[in-house]
Amino acid sequence: MSLSLSRLAWGCMGLACVWSSAALAAGSDQLAGSWSLVRVDNLMPDGTRVELYGAHPRGLLMFDGQGRYSLQIVREDRARFAANDKSKGTPQEYADAVRGSNAHFGHYTVNAADKTITFHIEHASYPNWEGTEQTRSFVLGKESLVYRVPTPTSGGNAIGEVEWQRADAH
């Protein structure tokens, strides 16, 4: 009898793993591809929106379908370094460059039931995010992806909201 229960337990665990992997793969498949940035807003407690990277931010988000991703966001209106040399910027040029961009890459998982994406961040332009796992609720439309960032790089009480459009949609 214990042998049958043992086989049943292993069989159930195997089915659970297959079902879980299939659910994650289904969500990953829907996100796979390239996405162009539409907007990055901070939602303030009073309901106002702040355009964190300006009115026309630029960016690219790529999901490969096997669980890897890469994300880059930049302000469209970033000033160039006067010296034309990255190692010879002024303190203001360095500050503006940091505030005007955000990038990270690593692995991602999708929980289709909860409608969440978890970014397992390997490296980031904001070093405080390196090695962290960050979960975002998302809404996936036919050609759009919107997710919320509960702890944006800007800190404070804001919640980030980021909208992407399929790159091949425009």
Q: What is the 3-state secondary structure (H, E, C) of 31-91?
A: HCEEEEEEEEEEECCCCCEEECCCCCCEEEEEECCCCEEEEEEECCCCCCCCCCCHHHCCH
The average pLDDT across 1-14 equals 44
Q: Is 33 within 8 Å of 168 (Cβ atoms)?
A: yes
Query: 157: which residues sit within 8 A by CB, 6+ positions away?
Result: 44, 45
Please state, in angstroms and rounded to a whole number, the distance separating the CA atoms of residues 60 and 102. Answer: 11
Name the helix (H) or strand (E) containing 13.
Answer: helix 2-31
pLDDT over 80 at 29, yes or no: yes
Q: What is the pLDDT of residue 153?
A: 83
CATH 3.40.50.10490 fits 2-169, yes or no: no
Q: What is the pLDDT of residue 168?
A: 76
pLDDT class of 170 with cuts at 50, 70, 90: low
Share of the chain above pLDDT 70, in %: 83
Please state, in angstroms and rounded to a whole number, the distance separating the CA atoms of residues 123 and 129. Answer: 8
Q: What is the pLDDT of residue 106?
A: 98
Q: What is the pLDDT of residue 151?
A: 83
The string of DSSP codes covering 80-148 is: PPTTS-GGG--HHHHHHHHHTEEEEEEEEEEETTTTEEEEEEEEESSGGGTT-EEEEEEEE-SSEEEEE
The average pLDDT across 20-37 equals 71
List pLDDT tens digits, range 99-144: 999 999 999 999 999 999 999 999 999 999 999 999 999 999 999 9
pLDDT over 50 at 8, yes or no: no
90's tokens:
């002024």
pLDDT class of 169 with cuts at 50, 70, 90: low
List pLDDT tens digits, range 92-108: 999 999 999 999 999 99
Listed residue (19, 27, 38, 23) closest to 108, CA to CA: 27
pLDDT class of 156 with cuts at 50, 70, 90: confident
Please state, in angstroms and rounded to a whole number, the distance separating the CA atoms of residues 98 and 128. Answer: 13
SS3 state of residue 150: coil
37's tokens:
């940035």
Mean pLDDT value across the chain: 86
